[in-house]
Every structure is written in C-alpha cells, then in structure tokens.
Amino acid sequence: MTMSDIGLWSVPLAMLGGAIRVSTPFIFVSLGEAITERSGRINLGLEGTLVFGAMAAYAVAVETGSAWTGVVAAMLAGAGFGLLHAWICSFPKVNDIAVGIALMLFGIGLAFFFGKPYIQPAAPRLPAIPFGAWSDLPQIQAALSINVLFLAGIALAVALWWCFKNTRAGLIVRVVGDSAEAARAMGLNPTTVRLIATAVGGAFAAVGGAYLSLYYPGSWNERLSSGQGLMAVALVIFARWNPLGCLAAALLFGAAGALGPALQSAGVTQGYYLFYAAPYVLTLAIMIATSSPGRALAGAPGELSITR
Amino acid sequence: MTAASTTSAPALAAPPTGGTLETLARRAESLVIPLGALLVGLGLFSLFLLALGKSPAQFIELMWRGGFGSWFSIQNTLLRAAPLLLAALCVVLPARLGLVVIGGEGAIVLGGVAAAAAGHWVAGLPPVAVIVAMALAAMAIGGLWIGAIGALRHYRAVNETISSLLMAYIAIALMNHLVEGPLRDPASLNKPSTIPLTAAGRLGAVPGTDVHWGIVVGVVACLACWLLIEKTRWGFAARVAGGNVRAAQIQGLAVGPLIIGFCALAGALAGLAGMIEVAAVHGNANASLAAGYGYTGILVAFLARQSPLGVIPVSLLLGGIAAAGGLVQRRMGLPDATILVLQGMLFILVLLSDTLYGRFKIFNPDRWGRAP
C-alpha cells in the first residue's frame, strides 16, 4: 500500500474538497438571492448574471492580467443586471418571475456573444491557500487547497446575518420585504430599497461566476455553469432566507454535487446520477413538509410573490 | 395568487358591450401592444448591431431569407417550431389558472425516456400500435409529473414555480440514471443511449416535405387547447378560477380537480413533445433530450400572452429566428449567441409592455364618450 493509495477513504476526502470547491459559487449566488428576496422581490435571472459575471471576469482578467480586477468587473456587471431587473419590475403589472427568466436568457446570450473571443486565451487564476501543506498525502493537499473567495464567502454570510439582525440597513430591507405599506408609512421608498438590494444581489451572484471562470473549473466556455444561478432560488428557500442557512445549504449542495464524481473516481459506475438529484429532492421534501394552505412558509418575506 | 393579474390578463375580459367597433377595439389591445413591443425590441437590437458596426438591414434580410424566404428555410423553421408548440402549451394551460409552471423540460425528458422504453417493449406490434403505445406512455408520465406539481400546489400550497423547477432537475437526473443504467444499450459507447427504436417506432415526414409529423401534432394541440379554454365549461371554469380563486370557490367550482387536470394535461403535452423528439429526431433516448425546449417554451408562452392560438405564430417566429441563426453567423461574422441576445431583448420588452394594458383610451370603449 503506497502513501497515495487510501482506498475508499478517498470518497469522503474528495467530497470534502469537492464541497469546498463546488460550494463557493453557491454561497455567493444564494447570498445574493437572499438579499434580493429579503427585500420582497425574487430574481430568477441570477443564472444569467452568474454566466455573464464569469465571462466578464475572465475577459477583464485576460486583458488586464489581474484576476482581482476581473472579479471587480464581474461585480459591476452583476450590479448592472440587478438594476435592470429591479427597474423593469418597478413598473406596475410586470411579473418579476417572468422578468427573471427573460434576463437569464439575455444575460447568457450576452455572455456567449461577447465571450466568444475569450474561449482560447488563458487568464490568471485566483490564488488558493494551501492549508493541507502539513500532509504528505496528495489527496489531503488537494482537498485543503482553499480559495480566498471561499473564505470571503463565509465572512460575508456571517456579516450579512449580523447586519440583518443588528443594523438599520438590515432592518430597512426586512421591513420593505415584509410589508411595502408599512415601509411607506415609515417614510421609506420600497422601489429604491429593492433597486439597491437587487443590485447588490446581482453583484454577489457575479462573484460566484467569477469564481467559476477564474478558479474552478478555471476557464471560460459556454458549458461553464451547471445551473448554479437557478438553484440559488431553491437554496434560499432551503435556508429559510437566513444567510447562515445559505452557507450551510451551499456546503450541502456542494457536497452532494461532489458525491457523483467522487464515487466515480472510486470506481462506482452505477447509480451515482441519482445522487445529483439528492439536493433537489431534499429541498422539495422540505417545501412539502413546511408549506400548508393558508399560511406562508416560515421565515418568508411577506411581500415575496412565490410564497403567497 | 402568483402573477394571476399579468399572466391571465386577456383570459377574463368583461362581457362585450356595444357593437363590432367596440369589440374590435378591446381585441386590438392584446394585439397592438405586444406587436409594438416586438418592434421596439427589434429597434433596440438594431442599435446594438449598429454599436458593433454591423448592418441591421442586412441582419433582417438574412433573417427573412434564412427563416422564411425559401421552401428549404420554411421547412427548417417548421422543424424548429415543432417542439416549441407543445412545450409552450405546457406553460399556457397552467397560466390560465394563474400558475407559473416553468418545469416543462422535466416532462419532456421523461416523456422521451418513457416513449423509448415503451417502443422497445412493444416492438413486435403493428407500427400504429407501437406509436400509440409510445405516445400514451410519454403522456402518462408527463401528466403525472406536472399533475403532481398541481396537486402539491392545491393541497399543500407548495409554490408551483419552484417545485416545477426542482422537479425538472430531478427528471434530468432520473433520465441520466435510466439512460446510463437500466435502459442503456450496451452498444452505445461514447454517448449512452437507450436501445434504438425499430422502424415501427419511428415517426416519418409529412408527405411531400422533410418535416416530421410533430408540427401537425403541435398545431392540432394548440387548436384543441384553444377550444378547451374558450368553448367548454371546463375552460370557462378555469378562466374564472384564474381570475379569482375565492370567487370560483364561492360559485361552487371544484378548483382542485381543475388545477390538477390542467397541469396534468399540460404535462401530457410536454411528454408528447419528448416522445416526438425520440420518435422523429433521435431514434432513441439520450442526454440530447434536455435541449432546453422546455425553457424556450416559457418564452413562447409569454410572447403569445398565454393564448394557445398565439403560440402558433410565436413558435414559427422563434423557429424562424433559430433557423436563420446559421446564415447570420456565416454571412455577418456574428456569434451564434446573437439569437439568444435578440430573444432576450424581445422577451424583456414584451414583459415590460404588460404595464401598458389599460392605459390607452383608444382600446377602452367605456371611456370613449367622456371628456379627457
């Protein structure tokens, strides 16, 4: 038995590493969706924002030679998509769910359109911190090589959780999300608050995209996203609109997503596709268990169109 | 209710009063506003092309030539429109009850797998029986899949938009499992697929064309759905319930069976789309079934303002745009995603135009006589 031959232990290790790698975009996109939904609006278009963010980050990183400039560019682009969504939805009688689907299509289209010349060139990658350097096992080193954005995502989730509870800005977003009329009575403008919340949400989602193109898998192509932006909506429900819950849900979805490839690399060739469905089955089960006619989901913002 | 006011706006018009001119004015609103939105969208897209130094006139000319200009391009358009018709109906039917179902993709892929499996099991029967068995299997599984979403909505108040999206992902995982596992043809190496259908299970072309029968099935389904919604008592009940659930319940309408029935029918049609993809295009079921028709169907349904008759021209329009994509790509050096950008712009503007309904006096005869 050689050092690197650790048999079936490679499955949990690969899952841990996979969970950390795969979950980072989930953390950012679900936190972005959580902020937007807390303000009473649902943005189903984050998939488009994420894909465009991935393209923008990669293109700018190629052009400037700096991965971090790419991340900033993605955030600006994401905020732009968020503003567009919130502006369109601010008109009366416009359906926010459908606008999200339209913006998803538009964002993906623009990303593929402008991203065509950037499929070939290589961009600088985002740095990772080798927390596994103490070990001789390459599996452990691989699993514990952690990207800075993962740590930033954890910090962001904690910060948001604290802000929603303890700050004036957090309170304003929650009031607008629970009752636009109460917010108006307090002298707040729900449209402005939602504009800001959706723009910030878009910027976060775009960071998730930047992670995809600049770190893992670390290239730009048209099959880069596997629906992380769409799954954000399910994640946020799963997390009960709580930023810390988003973090946990992102890790869980990441681990479940890593289970298939991990089993495959360990020699299991049958049935692992069903594990891909595990997070969705779980989310659906939780929705069925906790919904009931006559009342909204616990923890749901009162103004949210999907829970009424 | 989710978006009942916007998605079913034309569903429950007030009983017409006055003469033909008044009726015409009311009808014109839901035709003029979306057409205007499409034109504005095309204008914005022209500005986008101009900003890139391309000619909008050449783009429109190539669109026409590639989508509708010749018999060859018309056939190409019809082929691309065929799956969109049924996929869009899967959105339209629940929308008439005020439900936004966006998971038709799930019913399509499972319908395709069910059809391929059924076609293999009954391969010995006469060709007509094989096709009918495949269609029934696909419609049954599709109907169960989306019908379950309606049942969850009615009995447990589970939001149908999210649950249908989740179920679509589950369906795709299930399809991958079945195609790579229990139903896999051992001979399919690079691209795991089910065992190929025999000739009896294949749908051919409409005589005199290269277009398969899917387009005919789709158009007939649109007409049937229009009859169902506009001319039957179930359709009337659905329109009442889509306008106001509580009022419908007070009227004694059985809202539950309506919701589940409409959702199941919608899913059956999407399943049929999957069966046609298998029987007419692929010849077996594989991952190509998840081609995104379910999602383009959402676009078609909203552009058609949830009208089954409107679905026909919109599907042809989007099919034509898709058919012209290759020509535009070759002649103008534009990436193939140009089509997606155009679709996205048109979609956004049609949704934005929802805000204009009821704002123009010319479409509202009740306000004609009054002073401004």
Domain ranges of chain A: 7-307
Q: Is there a single domain that holds both residue B133 and residue B221?
A: yes
- Most trustworthy range by pLDDT among A297-301, B155-159, B296-300: B296-300
Which pLDDT value is given to residue B10?
45
- Please give the backbone phi and psi of residue A147, each rounded to the nearest 5 degrees, phi first: -75, 150
Whole-number Å distance between alpha carbons of B91 and B267: 9
B315-337 pLDDT, tens digit per residue, is 999 999 999 988 988 999 899 89
The larger pLDDT score, comparing residue B247 to residue A297, is at B247
Does residue B264 lie within any of the structural domains?
yes
Q: What are phi and psi of A269, to 5 degrees?
A: -115, -5
Counting the structural domains of chain B, the total is 2
* Among candidates B169, B344, B355 on the partner chain, residue whose Cβ is nearest the Cβ of A94: B355
pLDDT of A183-240, one tens digit each? 999 999 999 999 999 999 999 999 999 999 999 889 999 888 878 888 888 889 888 8
pLDDT at B55: 93
- What is the pLDDT confidence band of residue B371, given thresholds at 50, 70 and 90? low
Taking the C-alpha atoms of residue A15 and residue A32, their distance in angstroms, rounded to an integer, is: 25
- Could you read off the pLDDT of B51-60 as tens digits, one per residue? 999 999 999 9
Would B354 be classed as within a structural domain?
Answer: yes
With respect to residue B345, please indicate whether it lies within any of the assigned structural domains.
Answer: yes
Answer whether residue B76 shows pLDDT above 70. yes
Q: Mean of the per-residue pLDDT values for chain A? A: 88
User: Given pLDDT bands bounded at 50, 70 and 90, which one contains residue A2?
Assistant: very low
The residue-averaged pLDDT of B9-29 equals: 67
Here the tokens at position A10 are 């490679």
> Who contacts A241 (Cβ-Cβ below 8 Å, separation ≥6)?
A34, A37, A38, A299, A300, A301
pLDDT at A273: 77
pLDDT at A296 over 70: no
Taking only the tens place, the pLDDT of each residue in B200-209 is 889 989 998 9
- Tell me, yes or no, whether B206 and B344 share the same domain: no
Share of chain B above pLDDT 70, in %: 94
Cβ count within 10 A of residue B282: 18
> Is A109 near chain B, with CB under 8 Å?
yes
Which residue did the predictor score with more confidence, B169 or A55?
A55
Q: Do A95 and B6 touch (CB under 8 A)?
A: yes
Query: Which DSSP state fits B252?
Result: T
pLDDT (mean) for B286-299: 91
pLDDT of amino acid A109: 94
A277 Cα to chain B: minimum distance (Å) = 5
Residue with tokens 């051919």: B204
Range of the structural domain that residue B341 is part of:
18-54+334-364
Q: How far is B194 from chain A (nearest CA, A)?
A: 16
Rounded Cα distance between B257 and B264, Å, is: 10
Asked if B287 is an interface residue toward chain A (Cβ–Cβ < 8 A), one would say no
- pLDDT band at residue B49 using 50, 70 and 90 as cut-offs: very high
pLDDT (0 to 100) of residue B4: 40
CB-nearest partner of B354 from A94, A284, A288: A94
pLDDT, position A16 = 82
CATH topology of domain A7-307: ABC transporter involved in vitamin B12 uptake, BtuC (1.10.3470)
Q: What distance in Å separates the CA atoms of residue A228 and residue A223, rounded to the nearest whole number? A: 12
Both tokens assigned to B252: 């004694």
Q: Which residue carries 């819950």 as its tokens?
A: A245
The predicted model gives B238-262 an average pLDDT of 86
Which comes out higher in pLDDT, residue B254 or A266? B254
Which residues of chain B are within 8 Å of residue A81 when distances are taken between CB atoms?
A: none
Smallest CA–CA distance, residue B201 to chain A, in Å, is 28
CB contacts, 8 Å: A294 with chain B:
157
The B residues from 113 to 152 touching A (CB cutoff 8 Å) are 152
CA distance B192 to B179: 6
Q: Which of chain A's residues have a Cβ under 8 Å away from the Cβ of B177? A: 271, 273-274
- Confidence check: pLDDT of A8 > 90: no
Residue B60 lies in a domain: no
Q: Are residues B341 and B258 in the same domain?
A: no
Claim to verify: residue B93 and residue B217 sit in the same structural domain: yes
Which of B94, B38, B87 minimizes the C-alpha distance to B351?
B38
Per-residue pLDDT, averaged over B146-167, amounts to: 92
Task: Assess if residue B5 is contained within a domain.
Answer: no
Residues recorded for chain A: 308
Helix (H, G, I), strand (E, B) or coil at B10: coil
**Same structural domain for residues B356 and B248?**
no
Which residue(s) pair with A145 in the sheet? A130
Q: How far is A93 from chain B (nearest CA, A)?
A: 5
Please answer whether residues B321 and B135 qualify as being in contact, where contact means their C-beta atoms are separated by less than 8 angstroms.
Answer: no
pLDDT band of B13, cuts 50, 70, 90: very low
Q: Is residue B75 part of a domain?
A: no
Of A8-12, A158-162, B150-154, B305-309, give the lowest mean pLDDT range.
A8-12
Question: B181 with B101, same domain?
Answer: yes
Asked if residue B144 and residue B29 are part of one domain, the reply reads no
**Chain B residue closest to A48 (CA)?**
B344
Q: Which two tokens stand for residue A6?
A: 């650790």
Taking the Cβ of residue A117 and every Cβ of chain B, the question of whether any pair is shorter than 8 Å is answered with no
Q: Give the pLDDT confidence score for residue A82 in this predicted structure.
A: 97
Residue B72: its pLDDT value, please? 94
* Record: contact A102-B7, CB cut-off 8 A: no
Residues B164 and B289 occupy one common structural domain: yes
On chain A, the residues whose CB falls within 8 A of the CB of B102 are 97, 101
Distance separating alpha carbons of residues B327 and B317, to the nearest angstrom: 16
Residue A294 in contact with partner chain B when CB distance is under 8 A? yes
Angstroms from A226 CA to nearest CA on chain B: 11
pLDDT digit string, tens, across residues A98-152: 899 899 999 999 999 999 999 989 899 998 888 888 888 887 887 788 899 999 9
Of B13-17, B255-259, B365-369, the poorest mean pLDDT is in B13-17
Q: Identify whether the C-beta of residue A178 lies closer than 8 Å to the C-beta of residue A303.
A: yes
Of the partner residues A112, A237, A293, the one whose CB lies closest to the CB of residue B337: A112
User: Which residue of B329, B334, B340, B356 is the best one to mutate when testing the A interface, meaning the one whose CB has the most A CBs within 10 A?
Assistant: B340
Q: Is residue B278 part of a domain?
A: yes
B341 within domain boundaries: yes
Please answer yes or no on whether B3 and A99 come within 8 Å at the CB atom. Answer: no
Region B165-175 average pLDDT: 92
Nearest residue on chain A to B161, alpha-carbon basis: A306
pLDDT above 60 (res B15): no
Q: What is the pLDDT of residue B7?
A: 41
Query: What is chain B's mean pLDDT, rounded?
Result: 89
The pLDDT value given to residue B17: 56
Between A203 and B249, the more confident residue is A203
Partners of A101 on chain B (C-beta within 8 Å) are 102, 295, 298-299, 302, 347
Same domain assignment for residues B46 and B159:
no
Reported as a single tens digit per residue, the pLDDT across A63-95 is 999 999 999 999 999 999 999 999 999 999 898
